[in-house]
Amino acid sequence: MMKPLKNYNMPRQFNINKATIGLMLLIITCSFLISCAVKNKSAQPESNMNFNNKKILMVIAPKDFRDEEYLEPRKIFEQNGIIVKVASIQSGVAIGADGAKVKIDLTVSQVEVNDYDAVVFVGGPGMAEILNDESMQLLAKKFYQANKLTTAICVAPAILAKAGILSGKQATVWSGVVSDLAAGGAIYLKEKVVQDGQLITASGPAAAVAFAEKIIQSLK
């Protein structure tokens, strides 16, 4: 006749080890989850936190502005959490040289300089036609005198020169209007992007990304 099995109790040491292992696994799991959370947080662009409530005014010609000089910087600005508004000498919808359509938020005469941290004058053949517009030059001067970041790309640095704010300053510009910088007393540098204090200038569409990145760095 088979003997009944004895009630076998695990040794106390085994039970303790099992509990210890469980606790270790719990600690490891928690550490992993915390690490992932920290990593995800650090992976978020730091600039989004730095640039909350920052605003940039982009100024374009009502027609034939250079599309990439507007589109590429705007994309970079907005990716960094910056609010972008667009101004021109006319209200309505501006049409780029390559067909981009942009709704104008306000006219140049409606701009309140203190509402913005920087101004960006966009170039293009349309801007070349209005370099002598007094309202554009006055806007550039107001931003500069308010110690705001005052920037321009392609032919648009000529507006800064005509506004009288590039005298004795280093700057670059589209090759076709270098003479306008010289007439305004600027020190012309044949480079893609040039910064002299609160002034940032760029030579053309090939410099659009570097131009935007320099503006971002200067707003930090």
Contact criterion met (CB below 8 Å) for 158 and 181: yes
Residue ranges making up the domain that contains 109: 49-219
Placement of tokens 């910056």 in the chain:
82
Residue 90's contacts (CB-CB under 8 Å, 6 or more residues apart) are 62, 104, 107
Contact 117, 97 (CB under 8 A): no
Mean pLDDT confidence for 142-157? 98
Residue 162 lies in a domain: yes
CB burial readout 127-149, b (16+ within 10 A) else e: bbebbebeebbebbbbbbeeebb
Contact 132, 70 (CB under 8 A): no
In a domain, 39, yes or no: no
Q: Which of 25-39, 60-74, 177-191 has the lowest mean pLDDT?
A: 25-39
**pLDDT value at 47 more than 50:** no
In a domain, 146, yes or no: yes
Q: Give phi and psi for 123, each to the nearest 5.
A: -90, -160
CATH assignment of the domain containing 108: 3.40.50.880
Residue 44's pLDDT band, with cuts at 50, 70 and 90, is very low
Query: Average pLDDT for residues 90-104, to the nearest whole number?
Result: 98
* pTM of the shown model: 0.78
> Kind and range of the H or E element at 99?
none
Residue 4 has pLDDT above 60, yes or no: no
pLDDT in tens, 98-114: 999 999 999 999 999 99
Q: How many domains does the chain have?
A: 1
Q: How many percent of the chain have pLDDT more than 70? A: 77
Say whether pLDDT at 40 is over 70. no
The two three-digit tokens of residue 4, written as one number = 């009944």
d(CA 150, CA 24): 58
